[in-house]
């Protein structure tokens, strides 16, 4: 009997060893193909020159949806379909900022933030709102009422460990304090103007909000510090219409456990000031290439891989919210074992994960094996830090574990985020190649795992969000799932 037990143990160990060897062979074969036959950068360059920006609800946005659908089909994916959803599509018109001091007027360049009023002209005294955090608004008290609040987008002279808020959360706090308008100051030098939504949920906000350059914001603050009384007249004209946008979805069916789904997604839409090459052409066109390459391999993944390109992310996670709501109502969300989000990712050095017990160790073990393929390009780092305001958020709030590449694209890229300089010249082709290589390797690891850990329970998720310091921001946005 004892001898039989040892035979069984030996057979199990040999089977597990064969599985490990098979996984290693698959990973290296995929990596070799991904290293020499990449297409993502070329597709992104074509989109940048022939389509331009990919704003949801625009003609260009619809063209980008059609292109993504075609490229998935060209790659031979098992299933390709569109998931339509309705949205109020805000579009930029004109914005004019005039600053007066009682003696004359100064016109300052600015751009409107999205989901701001369709037509308005608001004049108000300028009040320095610092970083726009709760403590800043507490400091200025009633002076915020009826004021044009001058607020930093980033953190300036903040206390050690201070956490920033999203611009939409700062806008919500400013409105609650009674501000008449908001003048967001960019922290990027060189006269760069940044856009983005001032609304958490995609609805129009009642007061105008615009962005001005760091140099102009600094000049206004210097004058305010000398006791000058300044007024800001902010005029804007924008449009909004009800449109149907489409998430584009493709699927590679699992060979052994097809009912379990690993979802990898990223947003296809972009703001309209440039072509959105890094935010998020870098991620979305990497996904298109990843799908093509995985389909071309002779070994299918054991679990189903679902590739999703979301629209409406920039205007309030509209596409991902709609899809998660649909999955939750249909009961199919429980089959989505995890969501991997590629948003401005390139040259991954590891992966972050937000999940209950078991997920960190699984990702850490996978990263160790991926690093053996190319330790010079992939460090194999892991973290459990979680954050908001990208397409993983709706999945996370429903308890689905979320994973994201750990990337550092460099200041020159982050400085062009949401601005007129976010164009193809910023994209390094190798960054997209490594996206495909290492995210693909992780997908094969997860697809072939004997068992994937569970979703968050509501109690686990609540504790995790509180520990991460996300209760406050979620409450400001009305997304806190508990009373």
The CATH number given to whatever domain includes residue 114 is 3.50.30.30
| 354 and 273 both lie in a single domain | yes
For the chain, the domain total comes to 2
**Is the domain of 289 the same as that of 173?**
no
3-class secondary structure per residue, the chain = CHHHHHHHHHHHHHHHHHHHHHHHHHHHHHHHHHHHCCCHHHHHHHHHHHCCCCCCCCHHHHHHHHHHHHHHHHCCCCEEEEEEEEEEEEEEEEEEEEEECCCCEEEECCEECECCCCEEEEEEEEEECCCCCHHHHHHHHHHHCCCEEEEECCCCCCCCCCCCCCHHHHHHHHHHCCCCEEEEECCCCCCCCECCECCCCCCCCCCCEEEECHHHHHHHHHHHHCCCCCEEEEEEEEEEEEEEEEEEEEEECCCCEEEEEEEEEEECCCCCCCCCHHHHHHHHHHHHHHHHHHHHCCCCCCEEEEEEEECCCCCCCHHHHHHHHHHHHHCCHHHEEEEEECCCCCCCCEEEEECCCCHHHHHHHHHHHHHHHCCCCCCCEEECCCCCCCCHHHHHHCCCCEEEECCCCCHHHHCCCCECCCCHHHCCHHHHHHHHHHHHHHHHHHHHCCCCCCCCCHHHHHHHHHHCCCHHHHHHCCCCCCC
271: in domain: yes
- Do residue 348 and residue 312 come from a single domain? yes
Domain's final residue, options 240, 265, 285: 240
Residue 220: inside a domain: yes
Tens of pLDDT, residues 56-87: 999 999 999 999 999 999 999 989 999 999 99
Same domain, 153 and 54: no
Separation CA 433–CA 430 (nearest Å): 5
Cis geometry, peptide bond prior to residue 354 (ω within 30 degrees of 0): no
CATH code of 378's domain: 3.40.630.10
Asked, for residue 29, whether it belongs to a domain, the answer is no
Q: Is residue 469 part of a domain?
A: yes
- Could you list the residue range(s) of the whole structural domain that residue 233 is in? 95-240
Residues 79 and 203 in one domain: no
| 46 and 102, same domain (yes or no) | no
Give a yes or no: residue 149 inside a domain.
Answer: yes
Residues 227 and 125: their CA atoms lie apart, in Å, by 13
The answer to whether residues 172 and 131 belong to one domain is: yes
In-domain check, residue 26: no
Task: Answer yes or no: do 266 and 194 share one domain.
Answer: no
**Position 482 in a domain:** no
For residues 83 and 121, membership in a common domain is answered with no
Q: Which of 240, 266, 282 is the last residue of a domain?
A: 240
Q: Are residues 227 and 301 in the same domain?
A: no
Give the Å distances, CA to CA, from 464 to 72, 129, 219, 385: 36, 31, 42, 10
pLDDT at 26: 87
pLDDT of residue 13: 43
CA pair distance 472, 478, nearest whole angstrom: 10
**Would you say residue 6 lies in a domain?**
no
Burial class of residue 146, CB neighbours in 10 A (0-12, 13-18, 19+) = middle
Same domain? 103 vs 72: no
Shared-domain flag, residues 410 and 316: yes
133: exposed, middle or buried (Cβ count in 10 Å: 0-12, 13-18, 19+): buried
483 residues of the chain, pLDDT tens digit each? 454 344 333 443 444 444 666 677 888 999 999 999 889 999 999 999 999 999 999 999 999 999 999 999 999 998 999 999 999 989 999 999 999 999 999 999 999 999 999 999 999 999 999 999 999 999 999 999 999 999 999 999 998 889 999 999 999 999 999 999 999 999 999 999 999 999 998 999 999 999 999 999 999 999 999 999 999 999 999 999 999 999 999 999 999 999 999 999 999 999 999 999 999 999 999 999 999 999 999 999 999 999 999 999 999 999 999 999 999 999 999 999 999 999 999 999 999 999 999 999 999 999 999 999 999 999 999 999 999 999 999 999 999 999 999 999 999 999 999 999 999 999 999 999 999 999 999 999 999 999 999 999 999 999 999 999 999 999 999 999 998
CB 31, CB 437: distance < 8 Å: yes
Domain boundary residue, one of 240, 275, 304: 240
């Amino acid at each position: 009997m004892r001898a039989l037990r040892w035979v069984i143990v030996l057979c199990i160990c040999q089977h597990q060893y064969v599985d490990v060897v098979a996984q290693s062979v698959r990973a290296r074969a995929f990596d070799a193909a991904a290293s020499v036959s990449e297409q993502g950068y070329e597709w992104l360059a074509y989109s940048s020159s022939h389509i331009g920006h990919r704003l949801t609800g625009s003609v260009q946005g619809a063209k980008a949806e059609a292109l993504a659908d075609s490229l998935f089909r060209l790659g031979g994916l098992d299933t390709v379909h569109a998931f339509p959803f309705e949205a109020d599509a805000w579009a930029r018109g004109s914005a004019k900022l005039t600053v007066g001091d009682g003696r004359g007027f100064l016109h300052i360049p600015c751009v409107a933030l999205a989901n701001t009023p369709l037509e308005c002209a608001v004049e108000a005294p300028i009040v320095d709102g610092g970083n726009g955090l709760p403590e800043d608004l507490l400091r200025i008290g009633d002076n915020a009422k009826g004021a044009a609040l001058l607020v930093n987008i980033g953190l300036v002279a903040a206390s050690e460990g201070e956490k920033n808020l999203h611009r939409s959360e700062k806008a919500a706090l400013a409105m609650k304090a009674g501000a008449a308008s908001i003048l967001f100051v960019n922290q990027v030098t060189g006269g760069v103007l940044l856009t983005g939504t001032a609304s958490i949920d995609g609805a129009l906000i009642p007061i105008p909000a615009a962005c001005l350059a760091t140099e102009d914001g600094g000049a206004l603050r210097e004058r305010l510090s000398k006791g000058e009384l300044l007024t800001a007249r902010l005029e804007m004209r924008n449009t909004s219409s009800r449109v149907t946008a489409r998430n584009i979805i493709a699927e590679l069916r699992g060979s052994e456990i097809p009912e379990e789904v690993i979802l990898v997604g990223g947003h296809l839409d972009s703001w309209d000031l440039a072509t959105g090459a890094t935010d998020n052409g870098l991620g979305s066109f990497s996904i298109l290439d990843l799908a093509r390459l995985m389909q071309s391999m002779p070994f299918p993944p054991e679990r189903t891989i679902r590739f999703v390109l979301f629209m409406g992310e920039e205007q309030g996670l509209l596409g991902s919210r709609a899809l998660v709501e649909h999955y939750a109502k249909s009961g199919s969300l429980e089959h989505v074992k995890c969501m991997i989000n590629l948003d401005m990712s390139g040259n991954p050095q590891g992966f972050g994960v937000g999940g209950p017990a078991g997920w960190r160790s699984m990702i850490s073990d996978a990263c160790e094996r991926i690093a053996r393929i190319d330790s010079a390009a992939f460090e194999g780092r892991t973290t459990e830090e979680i954050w908001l305001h990208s397409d993983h958020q709706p999945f996370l709030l429903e308890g689905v574990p979320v994973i994201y590449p750990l990337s550092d694209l460099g200041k020159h890229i982050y400085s062009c985020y949401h601005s007129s300089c976010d164009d193809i010249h910023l994209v390094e082709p190798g960054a997209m190649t490594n996206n495909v290589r290492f995210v693909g390797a992780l997908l094969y690891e997860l697809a072939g795992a004997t068992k994937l850990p569970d979703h968050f329970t509501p109690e686990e998720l609540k504790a995790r969000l509180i520990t991460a310091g996300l209760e406050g921001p979620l409450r400001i946005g009305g997304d806190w799932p508990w009373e």
